[in-house]
């Protein structure tokens, strides 16, 4: 849009301002004018929500007015509600109101176009004011009298907020003991009781005001400690980066008893500047930081009257925006001439310099070359050869770093004279070989008679920053053969004609490709064996600079070492990088070499590499050779990489050897086979751990032939070798020393690591902001964090700016550094970045599981954490079962917190074998379970230790039992003699008596089933059973059953085998038994199964005493249980029963029902 009249512009601006005011927008910021100048551009513009600013595009001195184009973040800007183009070319930027999503933030610049060219302005950043939440809040503290206290809060915002502190929601008292640092730190020294209270910080900027949480300071008023505290730095200084002109504070806070003495020094020994003052009691304040303030500062705290001290250091870096110290000058050149524009810039960090042509980025290459300058500043010169009309215009040198940009403008004018010849025509290029091209053309038609010669220009067609070459050609020819070109490479050509008045326009450009050539080198060959009868040959493809064309085949020659006549060969296609040579003899030395071929034929073969096949014996304990042995050759080092052998579980590590092969050995070919014990190596063995897969051999000579051998070993012996033979790279050709001599490339910038999985991390970086050489590749160095063993450091080459590092340990912290590589020169590694892999399931179960029974029902389990937890253990899993053959789902699961290492397993059965196994779980999931272990619970036993009272009670009880037994035996014998004498007499009325029958001979076994309980009692009707409820309290018998009297005894078998009963037994007709027995039969009311298959049911018509004659195990288990001792008498639940027992009453004499002699009444 062309600028209108000044009055119209003012009227439009006034109208826009009125409209914004009517809409309620905030007052504007001052307008900002953008141009191209050698000093730093305008600083960032901060807008409140709803506020606006006007950006003007001022012309550069010496530039004509023109059309204005605005750009935001490098892209043309379209008019929106947030940006409006005013008639005079200015841009109105409006910040969004609160709650609106669209934003006017970004980097703005303008491009002014005129008939002579275009000029770009510097960039201004427009941001909307913000204030985030607190990232760190002050925390409560408890300190003693005369000690120190420190509160800290952190918050970010734009612009940076100002932070003040309050105590109990009031301003801090003005005391020298209280120091508030600008970064959000409050220091209180020599704490007093009045310092107790609630402290908080208040952050304020143009956007908001925020209050932090309150933190309570409690002061202990008790007696101080008797022992003095040693000196310690409680708040160390931090590495700080500050922009020149800003203030900075280096904090250092120490504590001791008595209070320490704190001092500051510079690590480089220089005196601290006089403008640096002490803030508070121990902090360092630099009011206006300048580049000379940069350096490392050391805080030292000494304990008074002792020699004990501690130190802490921090680095101060002072940044400076770029400044153009040498600006390019405008020049005028004739067509086909050469122009040189010099530019130099200074700043910290060193600014990167780029060039613009008519406002567009200029890409160096071909005729346009950017040459770096020496010294501490960035910059250099822009050289333009074979200038044409298209090269005219404005050239701008733009210096940039993280703090801003500066620029300078120069104009190149191209002068064209009259009478110049026309451009050559009909240009053609014919490839003659892999290194030669014939270029021909025709003379121009215009002013052809005035020609004095031609110039032929060519450069590589592919790639960037290619050098352009030119040859002068006499006027008497129109063709030239270009030699010493690269094989299989495309080139561009053009021709310029010359007369005494000047040069013509350049001809049209054509492209031609040289023919393929044979490879100039052989692939690097590695050999290994997996069986005694084969050799595995592997190699890496050749790089383009060595292949000299498209490789389409490989040839491998091999044969026995001692038999030169037996030479075999094999050819494979170009897509293969390995070949297995089979049908070989075990334990025999062979030699192998390889050659690569293109359409032009095979190149030079590699040197013979020797290898011995494994012996044909037992290979169980012998490690096989490592696989995929690769070696990347550098000028002074070899980077060796490999993969473990197939039986990697058997190896303990690796041994690496290397040696230089002399020309005499190469010519003679006599060397002992690799793997022989008598061979000598220059380096090795270098012992490497099992997990190492890469190592760099350093301090080697450039362009020399080396052999590398790698073997795996275990505790028994060394394994078989994998070998490699190849040359280190040649030293780059030295160039003439110039003021712009290139140094090593800078390390990559903005290195970022991001966790991808539990075993991989993404690593990304950007090319350095400025590098004196072209960067062609990178090397990533990584290792576990805090590593002390250098052999575990891994190097990973990369041609891009991102790489996925795999094969890492889960939940492990790694550190990464990246190195840049130029052509023949390596740069230093950059600063290390750290990142941890994500957690995973545990790879191993808990170890050292130990089981111990505590009692018959509880087992204690103890264990150790897993060897590879792969994360934080959140839970342990205990599976146990008494049946090992059951699936895991049928086992009982017991869980315990991940912080515990022992547990008690209750609810087990006594005297039982249990099987246990354990697992663990992280946030990702459970891991494997351990092997099964068993434990036997304890049996139930009486206490092993009895006190004196228990022993006394047992002795007394035994004595009483013996007395009672003796008494019962005597009573039983007297009663039996009495019944024998009176068994013919009738029982008196109202009394119940009985006589015991004599036992008869044993009966045949055919009648053994007749002695069950049912045969001893006559059947009775249920009505004969009388139930009398009684309340006896919580005694043994809760319900009483009264049995009617029995008038006679049931019959039984005598010793002679006959039946004995009331009608047959002599003298027992008058015997009757009518006892009154009360007992509880409630436990026997339900049938109880017996071995004979019939239920054992109590008969209501028979007294309970008859049960003592049964010795069936089932009947003995009934409760209540009756036992009949051999000496007579009756027992109930292990206790003797007499007529005076409270639970039993009889109306006759003492109840005594002895069993017949022998086992006559025992059921079968």
- Each residue's pLDDT tens digit, 1063-1081: 554 444 444 434 443 343 3
Are 406 and 457 within one domain? no
Taking 50 as the threshold, does the pLDDT of residue 1099 lie above it?
no
Indicate the DSSP class of residue 888.
G
- Which of 226-235, 679-688, 747-756, 916-925 is predicted most confidently? 916-925
- So what's the pLDDT on residue 60? 56
Taking 50 as the threshold, does the pLDDT of residue 674 lie above it?
no
- So what's the pLDDT on residue 1123? 40
pLDDT category at 1043 given cuts 50, 70, 90 is very low
Phi, psi for residue 1059 in degrees, rounded to 5 = -90, 145
Task: Give the pair of three-digit tokens for residue 886.
Answer: 């059951």
Return the minimum-mean-pLDDT range out of 131-135, 377-381, 836-840: 377-381
In a domain, 904, yes or no: yes
Taking 80 as the threshold, does the pLDDT of residue 328 lie above it?
yes
Task: Give the pair of three-digit tokens for residue 390.
Answer: 């298209």
Indicate the pairing of strand 553-560 with strand 568-573. antiparallel
- So what's the pLDDT on residue 645? 82
- So what's the pLDDT on residue 994? 37
Taking 50 as the threshold, does the pLDDT of residue 15 lie above it?
no
Sign of CA dihedral 860, 865, 870, 875: positive
Taking 70 as the threshold, does the pLDDT of residue 665 lie above it?
no
Are 190 and 283 within one domain? no
Cα 67 to Cα 1142: distance, rounded to the nearest angstrom? 127
pLDDT category at 100 given cuts 50, 70, 90 is low
Mean pLDDT along residues 498-525: 87
Cα atoms in the 13 Å half-sphere on the side-chain side of 462: 7
Cα 288 to Cα 1110: distance, rounded to the nearest angstrom? 113
Return the minimum-mean-pLDDT range out of 158-167, 273-282, 485-494, 997-1006: 997-1006
In a domain, 756, yes or no: yes
Indicate the DSSP class of residue 1073.
B
Domain that holds residue 391: 327-415
Q: Are 1097 and 1105 in contact (CB under 8 A)?
A: no
Indicate the DSSP class of residue 1046.
B
Mean pLDDT along residues 313-321: 92
- Answer with the residue of higher pLDDT: 9 or 644: 644
Mean pLDDT along residues 1008-1019: 39
Separation in Å, CA 872 to CA 211, 291, 897, 899, 924 = 36, 47, 11, 10, 10
Cα atoms in the 13 Å half-sphere on the side-chain side of 769: 14
Number of other CB atoms surrounding residue 171 within 10 Å? 10
Mean pLDDT along residues 1029-1054: 41
Helix (H) or strand (E) holding 211: strand 209-211
Task: Give the pair of three-digit tokens for residue 786.
Answer: 């805090």
Are 55 and 151 within one domain? no
Task: Give the pair of three-digit tokens for residue 635.
Answer: 């000028």
Strand partners, 589: 612
Phi, psi for residue 1115 in degrees, rounded to 5 = -65, -30
- Answer with the residue of higher pLDDT: 1096 or 632: 632
Q: Which of 320, 354, 389 is the last residue of a domain?
A: 320
In a domain, 778, yes or no: yes
- So what's the pLDDT on residue 914? 95
E strands in 58-145: 67-72, 75-76, 83-85, 91-94, 106-114, 117-120, 124-128, 130-136, 141-144
Return the minimum-mean-pLDDT range out of 244-258, 557-571, 665-679, 698-712: 665-679
- So what's the pLDDT on residue 733? 52
- So what's the pLDDT on residue 1053? 52
Are 763 and 818 within one domain? yes
pLDDT category at 1153 given cuts 50, 70, 90 is very low
Sheet with 638-643, strands from edge to edge, namely 627-633, 638-643, 694-697
Cα 878 to Cα 305: distance, rounded to the nearest angstrom? 60
In a domain, 1147, yes or no: no
Helix (H) or strand (E) holding 544: helix 544-547
865-908, pLDDT tens digit by residue? 999 999 999 999 999 999 999 998 899 999 999 999 999 999 99
pLDDT category at 977 given cuts 50, 70, 90 is low
Q: SS3 of 195, please? A: helix
Task: Give the pair of three-digit tokens for residue 271.
Answer: 């005196």
- Matching residue, tokens 């059953």: 1041
- Answer with the residue of higher pLDDT: 1151 or 435: 435
Cα 428 to Cα 283: distance, rounded to the nearest angstrom? 76
Q: Are 845 and 796 in contact (CB under 8 A)?
A: no
Task: Give the pair of three-digit tokens for residue 1012.
Answer: 């069950």
**Average pLDDT value over all residues in the chain:** 76
Closest CA to 150 of 161, 158, 142: 142
Are 505 and 526 within one domain? no
In a domain, 946, yes or no: no
Q: 540: burial class by Cβ within 10 Å (0-12, 13-18, 19+)?
A: middle
Sign of CA dihedral 496, 497, 502, 506: negative
- Answer with the residue of higher pLDDT: 738 or 544: 544
- So what's the pLDDT on residue 936? 93
Q: Which of 553, 587, 620 is the last residue of a domain?
A: 620
Report CA Rg, the chain: 53
Are 405 and 440 within one domain? no
Are 154 and 193 within one domain? yes
Q: Which of 792, 811, 836 is the last residue of a domain?
A: 836
Are 14 and 104 within one domain? yes
* Residue 268, domain CATH: 2.60.40.10
Residues 6+ apart with CB under 8 A from 1042: 1026, 1027, 1028, 1076, 1078
Separation in Å, CA 975 to CA 114, 858, 983, 1051, 1128 = 148, 55, 12, 20, 11
Mean pLDDT along residues 921-927: 94
pLDDT category at 1085 given cuts 50, 70, 90 is very low
In a domain, 1153, yes or no: no
- Which of 222-226, 578-582, 1027-1031, 1118-1122 is predicted most confidently? 578-582
- Which of 42-46, 185-189, 1071-1075 is predicted most confidently? 185-189
- Answer with the residue of higher pLDDT: 276 or 1083: 276
Separation in Å, CA 336 to CA 330, 428, 497, 504, 825 = 17, 22, 10, 8, 35
Mean pLDDT along residues 827-840: 88
- Answer with the residue of higher pLDDT: 1006 or 154: 154
Angle at 818 between CA 815 and CA 822, to 5 degrees: 165
In a domain, 701, yes or no: yes
Indicate the DSSP class of residue 365.
B
Taking 80 as the threshold, does the pLDDT of residue 170 lie above it?
yes
Cα 925 to Cα 177: distance, rounded to the nearest angstrom? 54
- DSSP letters, 941-1002, are ---S---HHHHHHHHHHHHHHHHHHHHHHHHHHHHHHHHHHTTTSPPPTT-----PPPP-PP
Are 959 and 1107 within one domain? yes
Cα atoms in the 13 Å half-sphere on the side-chain side of 916: 31
550-594, pLDDT tens digit by residue? 898 999 999 888 777 778 889 999 888 888 888 888 888 888 999
- So what's the pLDDT on residue 1157? 40
- So what's the pLDDT on residue 981? 53
E strands in 122-256: 124-128, 130-136, 141-144, 149-152, 154-158, 162-167, 170-171, 178-181, 185-188, 197-204, 209-211, 215-220, 232-235, 240-243, 248-250, 253-255
Q: Are 350 and 378 in contact (CB under 8 A)?
A: yes
- So what's the pLDDT on residue 468? 82
Strand partners, 293: none
CA 1048 to mean position of chain CA atoms: 94
- So what's the pLDDT on residue 664? 54
- So what's the pLDDT on residue 836? 93
Name the percent of the chain lying above pLDDT 70. Answer: 73
Angle at 705 between CA 704 and CA 710, to 5 degrees: 125
Helix (H) or strand (E) holding 1113: helix 1113-1116
Helix (H) or strand (E) holding 1016: helix 1013-1016
Are 1024 and 1121 within one domain? yes
- Answer with the residue of higher pLDDT: 794 or 713: 713
Residues 6+ apart with CB under 8 A from 575: none
Closest CA to 774 of 828, 830, 824: 824
- So what's the pLDDT on residue 974? 76
Indicate the DSSP class of residue 584.
P
Domain tally for the chain?
Answer: 10
Indicate the DSSP class of residue 246.
S
In a domain, 945, yes or no: no
Closest CA to 212 of 138, 266, 304, 274: 138
Cα 173 to Cα 151: distance, rounded to the nearest angstrom? 16
Name the percent of the chain lying above pLDDT 90. Answer: 23
- So what's the pLDDT on residue 663? 59
In the chain, the N- to C-terminal Cα span, in Å, equals 125
Cα 349 to Cα 330: distance, rounded to the nearest angstrom? 28
Indicate the pairing of strand 240-243 with strand 309-326. parallel
Are 1124 and 1104 within one domain? yes
Task: Give the pair of three-digit tokens for residue 1085.
Answer: 């009311």
Closest CA to 1161 of 1133, 1129, 1119, 1124: 1124
Helix (H) or strand (E) holding 200: strand 197-204
Are 680 and 805 within one domain? no
């Amino acid at each position: 849009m062309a600028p209108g009249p000044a009055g119209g512009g003012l009227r439009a601006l006034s109208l826009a301002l009125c409209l914004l005011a009517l809409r309620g927008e905030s007052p504007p910021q001052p307008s900002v004018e953008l141009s191209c100048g050698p000093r730093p551009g305008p600083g960032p513009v901060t807008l409140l929500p709803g506020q606006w600013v006007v950006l003007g595009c001022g012309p550069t001195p010496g530039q004509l007015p023109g059309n204005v184009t605005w750009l935001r973040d490098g892209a043309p800007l379209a008019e929106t509600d947030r940006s409006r183009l005013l008639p005079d070319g200015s841009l109105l930027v409006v910040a969004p109101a609160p709650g609106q999503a669209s934003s006017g933030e970004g980097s703005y610049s303008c491009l002014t176009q005129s008939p002579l060219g275009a000029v770009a302005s510097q960039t201004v950043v427009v941001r909307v004011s913000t204030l985030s939440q607190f990232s760190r809040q002050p925390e409560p503290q408890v300190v003693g009298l005369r000690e120190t206290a420190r509160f800290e809060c952190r918050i970010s915002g734009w612009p940076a907020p100002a932070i003040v502190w309050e105590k109990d929601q009031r301003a801090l008292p003005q005391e020298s003991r209280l120091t508030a640092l600008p970064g959000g730190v409050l220091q209180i020294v020599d704490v007093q009781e009045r310092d107790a209270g609630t402290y908080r910080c208040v952050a304020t900027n143009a956007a908001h005001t925020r209050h932090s949480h309150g933190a309570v300071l409690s002061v202990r008023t008790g007696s101080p400690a008797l022992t003095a505290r040693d000196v310690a730095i409680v708040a160390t200084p931090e590495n700080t980066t500050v922009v020149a002109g800003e203030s900075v504070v280096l904090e250092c806070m120490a504590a001791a008893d008595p209070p320490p003495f704190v001092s500051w020094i510079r690590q480089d020994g220089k005196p601290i500047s006089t403008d640096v003052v002490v803030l508070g009691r121990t902090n360092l304040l630099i009011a206006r930081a300048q580049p000379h303030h940069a350096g490392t500062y050391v805080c030292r705290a000494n304990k008074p009257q002792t020699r004990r001290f501690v130190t802490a250091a921090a680095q101060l870096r002072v940044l400076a925006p770029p400044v153009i110290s040498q600006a390019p000058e405008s020049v005028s050149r004739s067509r086909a001439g050469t122009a040189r524009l010099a530019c130099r810039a200074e700043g910290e960090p060193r600014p990167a310099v780029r060039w613009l042509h008519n406002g567009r980025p200029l890409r160096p290459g071909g005729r346009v070359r950017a040459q770096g300058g020496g010294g501490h500043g960035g910059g250099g010169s822009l050289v333009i050869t074979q200038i044409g009309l298209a090269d005219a215009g404005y050239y701008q040198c733009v210096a940039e770093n993280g703090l801003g940009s500066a620029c300078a403008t120069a104009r190149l004018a191209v002068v064209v004279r009259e009478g110049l010849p026309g451009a050559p025509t009909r240009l053609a290029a014919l490839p003659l070989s892999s290194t030669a091209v014939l270029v021909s053309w025709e003379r121009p038609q215009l002013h052809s008679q005035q020609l004095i010669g031609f110039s032929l220009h060519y450069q590589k067609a592919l790639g960037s920053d290619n050098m352009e070459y030119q040859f002068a050609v006499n006027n008497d020819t129109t063709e030239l053969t270009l030699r010493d070109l690269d094989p299989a490479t495309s080139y561009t050509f053009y021709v310029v004609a010359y007369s005494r008045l000047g040069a013509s326009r350049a001809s049209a450009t054509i492209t031609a490709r040289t023919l393929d050539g044979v490879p100039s080198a052989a692939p690097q060959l590695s050999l290994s064996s997996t069986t005694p009868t084969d050799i595995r040959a592997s190699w890496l493809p050749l790089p383009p600079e060595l292949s000299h064309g498209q490789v389409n085949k490989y040839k491998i020659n091999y044969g026995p070492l001692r038999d030169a006549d037996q030479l075999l060969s094999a050819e494979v296609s170009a897509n293969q990088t390995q070949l297995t040579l089979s049908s070989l003899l075990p334990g025999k030395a062979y030699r192998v070499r390889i050659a690569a071929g293109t359409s032009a034929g095979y190149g030079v073969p590699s040197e013979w590499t020797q290898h011995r096949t494994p012996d044909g014996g037992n290979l169980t304990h012998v490690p096989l050779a490592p696989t995929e042995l690769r070696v990347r050759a550098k000028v002074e080092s070899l980077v060796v990489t490999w993969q473990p052998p197939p039986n990697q579980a058997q190896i303990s590590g690796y041994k690496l050897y290397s040696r230089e092969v002399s020309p005499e050995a190469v010519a003679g070919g006599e060397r002992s086979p690799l793997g022989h014990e008598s061979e000598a190596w220059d380096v090795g063995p270098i012992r490497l751990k099992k997990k190492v897969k890469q190592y760099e051999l350093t301090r080697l000579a450039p362009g020399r032939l080396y052999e590398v051998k790698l073997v795996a070993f275990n505790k028994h012996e060394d394994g078989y070798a994998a070998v490699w033979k190849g040359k280190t790279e040649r030293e780059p050709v030295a160039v003439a020393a110039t003021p712009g001599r290139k140094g090593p490339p800078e390390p990559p910038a903005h290195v970022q690591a991001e966790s991808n999985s539990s075993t991989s991390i993404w690593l990304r970086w950007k090319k350095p902001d400025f590098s004196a050489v072209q960067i062609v590749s990178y090397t990533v160095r990584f290792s576990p964090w805090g590593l002390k063993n250098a052999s575990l450091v891994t190097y990973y080459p990369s041609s891009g700016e991102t790489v996925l590092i795999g094969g890492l340990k889960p939940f492990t912290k790694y550190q990464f550094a990246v190195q840049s590589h130029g052509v023949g020169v390596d740069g230093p590694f950059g600063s290390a970045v750290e990142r941890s892999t994500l957690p995973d399931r545990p790879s191993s179960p808990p170890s050292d599981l130990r089981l111990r029974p505590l009692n018959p029902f509880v087992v204690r389990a103890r264990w150790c954490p897993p060897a590879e937890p792969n994360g934080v253990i959140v839970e342990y899993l205990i599976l146990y079962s008494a049946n090992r053959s059951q699936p895991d789902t049928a086992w009982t699961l017991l869980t315990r917190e991940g912080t515990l290492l022992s547990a008690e397993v209750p609810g087990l059965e006594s005297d039982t074998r249990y099987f246990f196994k354990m697992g663990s779980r992280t946030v990702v999931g459970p891991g494997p379970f351990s092997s099964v272990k068993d434990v036997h619970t304890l049996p139930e036993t009486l206490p092993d230790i009895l006190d004196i009272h228990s022993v006394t009670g047992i002795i007394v009880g035994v004595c009483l039992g013996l007395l009672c037994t003796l008494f019962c035996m005597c009573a039983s014998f007297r009663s039996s003699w009495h019944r024998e004498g009176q068994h013919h007499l009738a029982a008196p009325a109202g009394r119940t008596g009985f006589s015991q029958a004599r036992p008869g001979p044993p009966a045949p076994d055919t009648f053994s089933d007749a002695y069950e309980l049912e045969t001893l009692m006559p059947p009775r009707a249920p009505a004969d059973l009388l139930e009398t409820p009684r309340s006896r309290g919580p005694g043994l018998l809760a319900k009483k059953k009264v049995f009617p009297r029995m008038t006679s005894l049931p019959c039984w078998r005598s010793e002679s085998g006959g039946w004995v009963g009331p009608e047959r037994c002599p003298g027992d007709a008058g015997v009757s038994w009518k006892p009154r027995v009360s007992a509880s039969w409630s436990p026997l009311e339900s049938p109880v199964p017996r071995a004979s298959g019939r239920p054992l049911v109590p008969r209501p018509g028979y007294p309970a005493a008859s049960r003592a004659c049964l010795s069936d195990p089932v009947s003995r288990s009934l409760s209540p249980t009756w036992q009949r001792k051999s000496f007579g008498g009756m027992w109930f639940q292990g206790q003797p029963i007499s007529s005076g027992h409270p639970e039993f009453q009889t109306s006759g004499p003492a109840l005594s029902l002895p069993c017949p002699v022998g086992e006559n009444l025992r059921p079968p």
